[in-house]
Amino acid sequence: MNRKSEASTIRRLFAGVGLFLSLSLTGCDDPSSLLSKPKATILTNGSVEDPLFAVDGKAFAGWISPIGNDPAAAKGNLKWKLWSIEDGKEIGSWTSPMDRSTLIAGTGDGQTWSVSVPEPKTFIQIYRFLDFTTGQLSDIPGTNKSLRSWTHPVFSADRRRLAYSDTQSDSSKRQGWVHEKTETGWEKRISVPGESAVLSPDGKSVATVCWPTEMRNFRLQLRLFDTSTGQERWTSQVDSYVLHGFTPDGKYLIQNDNAGYRIFDTKTGKQQLLVSKSPRHDTRSKFPVVYHGGFVLAVVGFPGTEELVRWDVAAGKELSREPITFEARDRTPAFGSPRLAIVRKTQEHPVPGQENTTWSSMEVEIYDPTSPKPIQSLLVSGSTQLVCSPDGRTLASIGTLSLRFYDLPELKSFDLETNAPREP
């Protein structure tokens, strides 16, 4: 068989089974012809830094570090851009007036984004709203000024309710505030005791962390309140002020401390699960972890000893643990997507006509917590970072010269024994 017919056979095999874990690209005249086709490509001529999807997965933001520059050395006047994932067109941009600005995701239309900068000599952040389409900043509702808080404002899924915390010097008097958008503007709905306020996706619950009212109990209190009445639903004990937020289905509340991610049942306040990076529960560094349909999937351990672990949250038990030797380049924020991307294999290819010049291809596997096996495989080129969207339908592949978006399958639940899709 000549090389041309061999390449044709490989292409037919790839199209027929949808997987290429066993393919050898060395026998193909043009390995680039086997690459998965992105739905949109953006030529960046630099690496996209601090990347994040819009909350609805319809847009993607970041700032570009030119080739040869050290992103860590970048100072003020960073130009953030927001692109559509469907066609790669720029939706809007905003230039940061100072360094160390942090962007908090908003909607794909460029609105309801937030920006924070650290207040000098304190741990407090200063927050303002950002409209990407105009590049204009505005005040947080109910504050009439920039919001000073330790945690960023949190919206309900429909963006009609908003929760945030204040920074009163007396920790026992700190409040979590909930505002609601009406025909006449934003109006205060309730205030509840505590800080680190986070809002449930349906906007019906707000959680805070409070200093204990009884000094004989030195553990912090995690409290859940009804946003309609302000009534407390339950209290649990925690060891950190850090509240990560609710799962997208609203069934669980995630709290973070040095031990890992603690997952609480929102109906009972019971801790269902602790997801930790290591057996010693030392989780001060970030690691890939995703949630979907009542299951959690995470890459735990350290390079050389990493494992892919799956849990059933409702049962509070581990379902599987698989040693992995491949690389987790997923930079999706923790619990920021129902999908996890992992590089299974990388390979270098010569550039025709250019001596000592190569390009790299990567076999990327997409995992869903409800499935014991990868749900999709992609072949991408030159990716340094992978980010999955909040809706699980798009993979962003970031390279040094370009940004590419790939379609992912529709979300489904899978039978853990047969790997067959379950009925909705």
Residues 84-131 pLDDT 10s? 999 999 999 998 876 667 889 999 999 889 988 777 777 778 888 999
In a domain, 90, yes or no: no
pLDDT tens digits, 27-46: 455 666 788 999 999 999 88
**Between residues 311 and 16, which one has the greater pLDDT?**
311
pLDDT tens digits, 234-257: 999 998 888 889 999 999 999 988
pLDDT tens digits, 273-297: 999 877 655 555 578 899 999 999 9
How many CA atoms, within 13 angstroms, populate the side-chain half-sphere of residue 193?
15
Q: State which amino acid sits at residue 9.
A: T
Q: Which structure tokens are listed for 44?
A: 């960046």
Using 50, 70 and 90 to split pLDDT, how confident is the model at 148?
Answer: confident
Burial state string for 129-144 with b = 16 or more CB within 10 A and e = fewer than 16: bbbbeeeeeeebbbbe
In a domain, 31, yes or no: no
Looking at residue 38, the DSSP 8-state letter turns out to be P
Using 50, 70 and 90 to split pLDDT, how confident is the model at 13?
Answer: very low
Query: Does residue 304 surpass a pLDDT of 70?
Result: yes
pLDDT of residue 12: 32
- Of the candidates 294, 316, 323, the one whose C-alpha atom is nearest the C-alpha of residue 414 is 294
Q: Give the separation between CA 175 and CA 190, rounded to whole angstroms.
A: 10
Q: What CATH code is carried by the domain that includes residue 204?
A: 2.130.10.10
In a domain, 231, yes or no: yes
Contact criterion met (CB below 8 Å) for 266 and 200: yes
In a domain, 178, yes or no: yes
Which structural domain, as residue segments, surrounds residue 186?
Answer: 168-285
Q: Give the separation between CA 332 and CA 235, rounded to whole angstroms.
A: 30
Phi, psi of 18 (to 5 degrees): 75, 5
Instruction: Give the number of domains in the chain.
Output: 1
Give the other-Cβ count within 10 Å of 185's Cβ.
9
* Residue 26, helix vs strand vs coil: helix
In a domain, 172, yes or no: yes
| Residue keyed to tokens 């269902």 | 272
In a domain, 402, yes or no: no
Supply the pTM of this predicted model: 0.84
In a domain, 299, yes or no: no
* Residue 31, helix vs strand vs coil: helix
Phi, psi of 199 (to 5 degrees): -110, 140
Q: In 85-174, where do the E strands start and end?
A: 90-95, 102-104, 113-118, 125-131, 136-138, 147-149, 154-155, 161-165
In a domain, 84, yes or no: no
